Structure 1
Amino acid sequence: MPLSQVSRRSFLVTTAAASTVFAAPLVLPRSVFGANERIITGHIGVGGQGKSNLGGFMNNVAAICDVDSNRIAAVAKMLEEKGKTVETFGDYRKLLDRKDLDAVVISTPDHWHALHTIHACQAGKDVYCEKPLSLTITEGRKMVEAARANSRVVQTGSQQRSDAKFRQACELVRSGRLGKISTVLVGIPGPNHPGQLGPDGDPPPELNYEMWLGPAPQRPYNTKRVHYNFRFFWDYSGGQMTNFGAHHIDIAQWGLGMDESGPISTEGEATFHPQKYHEVTETCRITHTYANGVTVVVGQKQSDIPQGATFIGEKGKIFVTRGKITSDPESILKEPLAADDVHLYVSKSHHGNFLDCIKTREKPICDVEIGHRSATVCHLGNIAARLGRKIQWDPAAEKIVGDDEAAAMVARPYREPWKLEG
């Protein structure tokens, strides 16, 4: 049977049954035993964001993996020109078999995040996984469980948490500078899909399309569904809600102190492409209501909601986006935080924070639980948008209440032979 048709469980049984590397709770990275020892990373997915992430681990990379051989060749050449020789793989499971790897950096389409992360944790590797953490709510909880069961450090790639402006906004909000918070506005852009799909065809020889699909449903190959375009189809992603929304909703969660919780209801409306060039929302206005009465309003292409996060309270408001923070009144930003104000986790480098935590075994600034909870809000928004009705959410039990159709959407079936185990 081809490797792409072998489940992780059978793969482990046949190739590593006697190897202690998969007894992950007992395995610590080599770097733990020497603070000066170089941390070794493997990278799964080396396309656009994958190449960007490589920049943060240039001194650590030893192996790369991608289902597109052209991408592998290009990145390997780029690294060679920088004086770095890496081992290359077309199947991530073979990369995970390298016992010298301390950590894995995952920059693949969203529908692969769960399996890549869970299998890496089971293989005794720490994980940096791009946002959104998951494709579904069920996947996210399974990823948290795998990280905890295997004592792994798992960082979500929500790098805005390592930006001083976003931290400042959240510290001011949580220190009461705005008084009681009533609303957080989250602005996200419209889809940037390239347009009409055109005819399906055969995948190019450099792309292992079967492996690209992985657990996603079988579909004919179309160039406007793969690589960057994956994010505009429900099989693989959740559109800008889980793209930019995963960043700005994460900041809303941080500022509200909801890293281990979430809303109790979600409702709103959305529009979709009239010719169905893609499936995800074209525009939306989704309201998440929390138990304390605060609402988080996510607006896609809404004229009154700028891209970023706007915290609104009884004493004013704070707006923060990449490279910019403002307040009304301006005095809110001018008064420095006092010693007894809220001071949040400080990270000046998202990649660096992950590497530091591999050594210390502390939780990173955007731990897997945080990434899961922020992604959950995104997923709830998409479920409400797709159904066109209000849904009730129990953040403690992590269940949709009183709506069987909506409740079924917290998970998705996996294409055989792939399984979400655990």
Structure 2
Amino acid sequence: MTTLAASVSAASAFPGAFTIGSRKQDAVRVGVIGVNGMGWANLNSMLKVPGVRCTALCDVDANVLNNRAEELRRRGITPKLYSRHEDLLADAEVDAVIVATPDHWHCLHMIDACAAGKDVYVEKPLGNSIAECNAMVTAAARYGRAVQVGQWQRSQQHFRDAMDFVHSGKLGKIRLVKAWAYQGWMKSIPVKPDGPAPDGVDYMRWLGPARTRPFNPNRFHFEFRWFWDYAGGLMTDWGVHMLDFALMGMKATTPKSVMAIGGKFAYPDDAAETPDTLTTVYEFDDFTVQWEHANGIDGGPYGRNHGVAFIGNYGTLVLDRRGWEVIPEGDRMQAVPFRKSEDNGLDKHTANFIDVVRSRKLEALHAPVTAGAHIAVFAQMGNIAYRTGEKIFWNEQRGRFTSRAANRLLAAEYHNGYKIPPL
């Protein structure tokens, strides 16, 4: 099993230059698996790159599929439509695939795409378990495919600038890193009864490797994020973004221990399973990384509803999607006024992927599969600590925890005849 530390090195945290690269007009034919939310956003971003064409769409919800196809037709684009991802992957007129399905499908879709000879832009979090992440890294290497993970902040210049400042040593000794997501717009999910799947939805295909259950609207489309069968709540939805930079700033890999506490404190009786309030502490040799999240409120640290803060002896650097600043500790250093983001991270990220598809210089990817696996595993560790109620420890040599209860959560349980292909 690939271990956490083996997934990525600190030196390769930002592979490639933060430039768009060459603007070759070589045609790149793109198909999309899961075109409702981020799949649609990613496609529209990718279509801005000269030479990119959309040739195929796939979705298990015919309503979504037909609506997106009609939107494209109005723009003079006529893709082929598929309800099964295997059929799209067999299409010789598809060079690269966007995978933007629910988290529990990412692993199988990405591996199948690589095996079919396609390059892949896969949404975050990379996998829905540590075992899946390891398998996805192995598959990308075995088939020699370009795999970009949709952590588009890695393509934004202000994030790179902030990391350079952290690495400069000007903050002094950094003893604590805080990362957080306070999401006021994510309200309670009212309990709803089970019922029939909507017309046009292949529900068994949507379930895929997840446990068979009656259809419930709370578990479908966007809300799947709050159920353990399909995802990991805010920890894996937002944590992979913010914690990614916490680790980059500290050039950190594997924590010594992880502990977490929280629960459904805001909405104890609603339909969600994942915690709406969580604090997770990752222990390293001489610093800690702390994750916080809260649904339903925006009042996060430093007046920001998301971000990461590097707390040093001389000052604190605070970073989010809007920009970054440095708050001095008394007169120990000069303040750095807020430096605003000035670019479009998603557009730069998809353009970087297309550049690599053309150049085959896989090392130039801004968010390669190894980096996506590293941070997805890190976030999964936080969820495993929460779900076991234990302080957990990782055995680097064995690629396992020292806890039997934690090891039971290393792999997602697959159902309905699905399994991770042998690699």
Query: Which amino acid in structure 1 is aligned with residue 230 of structure 2?
Result: Y
- C-alpha change, 1:199 and 1:375, in structure 2 (3 Å) is same
Q: How many residues align?
A: 376
Q: Percent identity?
A: 35
- C-alpha change, 1:60 and 1:315, in structure 2 (3 Å) is farther
Equivalent position of 1:42 in the other structure: 31
Report the alpha carbon displacement of residue 235 of structure 1 after superposing the two structures with TM.
0.2
Query: Which amino acid in structure 1 is aligned with residue 217 of structure 2?
Result: T
Q: Pick from 250, 255, 261: which aligns with 1:263? A: 255
Report the alpha carbon displacement of residue 75 of structure 1 after superposing the two structures with TM.
0.5
- Alignment TM-score, normalising by the size of structure 2: 0.84
Query: Which amino acid in structure 1 is aligned with residue 307 of structure 2?
Result: G
Equivalent position of 1:414 in the other structure: 414
Return the alpha-carbon distance in structure 2 between the equivalents of residues 124 and 216 of structure 1.
Answer: 26
Report the alpha carbon displacement of residue 165 of structure 1 after superposing the two structures with TM.
1.6
Query: Which amino acid in structure 1 is aligned with residue 162 of structure 2?
Result: A
Residue 392 of structure 2 is aligned to residue 391 of structure 1:
yes
Counting only pairs closer than 5 Å after superposition, residues 241-280 of structure 1 correspond to structure 2 as 241-258=235-252, 261-272=253-264, 273-280=267-274
Report the alpha carbon displacement of residue 98 of structure 1 after superposing the two structures with TM.
1.1
Q: Deviations over 1:97-146 (max 9, x none)?
A: 01232111011100000000001011111110001111001100100000
Report the alpha carbon displacement of residue 35 of structure 1 after superposing the two structures with TM.
4.8
- C-alpha change, 1:220 and 1:347, in structure 2 (3 Å) is closer
Query: Which amino acid in structure 2 is aligned with residue 175 of structure 1?
Result: S
Equivalent position of 1:213 in the other structure: 207
Structure 2 gaps of 5+ residues are 1-22, 340-344
Kept in 2: contact 1:163–1:348 (CA 8 A): no
Kept in 2: contact 1:189–1:244 (CA 8 A): no
Q: Deviations over 1:218-272 (max 9, x none)?
A: 01101111000100000000011111111111111222223xx331210121112
Kept in 1: contact 2:30–2:94 (CA 8 A): yes
Equivalent position of 2:76 in the other structure: 83
- Alignment TM-score, normalising by the size of structure 1: 0.85
Kept in 2: contact 1:109–1:230 (CA 8 A): yes
Residue 280 of structure 2 is aligned to residue 286 of structure 1:
yes
Stretch moving more, 122-131 or 360-369: 360-369
- C-alpha change, 1:231 and 1:193, in structure 2 (3 Å) is farther
Q: Pick from 64, 69, 72: which aligns with 2:65? A: 72
- C-alpha change, 1:303 and 1:61, in structure 2 (3 Å) is closer
Equivalent position of 1:140 in the other structure: 133
Return the alpha-carbon distance in structure 2 between the equivalents of residues 148 and 202 of structure 1.
Answer: 41
Partner of 1:127: helix, strand, or coil?
A: strand
Q: Deviations over 1:364-387 (max 9, x none)?
A: 111101001101111111111122
Return the alpha-carbon distance in structure 2 between the equivalents of residues 36 and 190 of structure 1.
Answer: 41
Return the alpha-carbon distance in structure 1 between the equivalents of residues 274 and 356 of structure 2.
Answer: 36
| Greater relative contact order, per chain length (Cα 8 Å cut-off, separation 6+) | 2
Residue 220 of structure 2 is aligned to residue 226 of structure 1:
yes
Counting only pairs closer than 5 Å after superposition, residues 86-125 of structure 1 correspond to structure 2 as 86-125=79-118
- C-alpha change, 1:136 and 1:270, in structure 2 (3 Å) is same
Query: Which amino acid in structure 1 is aligned with residue 325 of structure 2?
Result: T
Q: Deviations over 1:54-78 (max 9, x none)?
A: 1112232111100000111110011
Kept in 2: contact 1:215–1:415 (CA 8 A): yes
Kept in 1: contact 2:256–2:283 (CA 8 A): yes
Partner of 1:184: helix, strand, or coil?
A: strand
- C-alpha change, 1:95 and 1:108, in structure 2 (3 Å) is same
Return the alpha-carbon distance in structure 1 between the equivalents of residues 164 and 396 of structure 2.
Answer: 24
Q: Deviations over 1:178-215 (max 9, x none)?
A: 22221110111358255222210010111110000000
Equivalent position of 1:370 in the other structure: 371
Report the alpha carbon displacement of residue 398 of structure 1 after superposing the two structures with TM.
3.2
- C-alpha change, 1:143 and 1:332, in structure 2 (3 Å) is farther
Return the alpha-carbon distance in structure 2 between the equivalents of residues 229 and 71 of structure 1.
Answer: 16
Kept in 2: contact 1:251–1:309 (CA 8 A): yes
- C-alpha change, 1:333 and 1:262, in structure 2 (3 Å) is farther
Kept in 1: contact 2:45–2:347 (CA 8 A): no
Equivalent position of 1:351 in the other structure: 350
Return the alpha-carbon distance in structure 2 between the equivalents of residues 113 and 157 of structure 1.
Answer: 12
Report the alpha carbon displacement of residue 332 of structure 1 after superposing the two structures with TM.
5.7
Kept in 2: contact 1:193–1:232 (CA 8 A): no
Partner of 1:50: helix, strand, or coil?
A: helix
Partner of 1:218: helix, strand, or coil?
A: coil
Residue 167 of structure 2 is aligned to residue 174 of structure 1:
yes
- C-alpha change, 1:69 and 1:366, in structure 2 (3 Å) is same
Kept in 2: contact 1:271–1:282 (CA 8 A): yes
- C-alpha change, 1:397 and 1:89, in structure 2 (3 Å) is same
Structure 1 gaps of 5+ residues are 1-33, 337-345
Equivalent position of 1:126 in the other structure: 119
Return the alpha-carbon distance in structure 2 between the equivalents of residues 298 and 95 of structure 1.
Answer: 39
- C-alpha change, 1:86 and 1:173, in structure 2 (3 Å) is same
- C-alpha change, 1:182 and 1:254, in structure 2 (3 Å) is same
Kept in 2: contact 1:193–1:229 (CA 8 A): no
Report the alpha carbon displacement of residue 300 of structure 1 after superposing the two structures with TM.
1.4
Equivalent position of 1:57 in the other structure: 46
- C-alpha change, 1:397 and 1:252, in structure 2 (3 Å) is farther
Stretch moving more, 118-127 or 346-355: 346-355
Residue 292 of structure 2 is aligned to residue 299 of structure 1:
yes
Return the alpha-carbon distance in structure 2 between the equivalents of residues 105 and 64 of structure 1.
Answer: 10
Return the alpha-carbon distance in structure 2 between the equivalents of residues 327 and 394 of structure 1.
Answer: 36
Partner of 1:77: helix, strand, or coil?
A: helix
Report the alpha carbon displacement of residue 396 of structure 1 after superposing the two structures with TM.
5.8
Query: Which amino acid in structure 2 is aligned with residue 281 of structure 1?
Result: P
Kept in 1: contact 2:195–2:216 (CA 8 A): yes
- C-alpha change, 1:50 and 1:385, in structure 2 (3 Å) is same
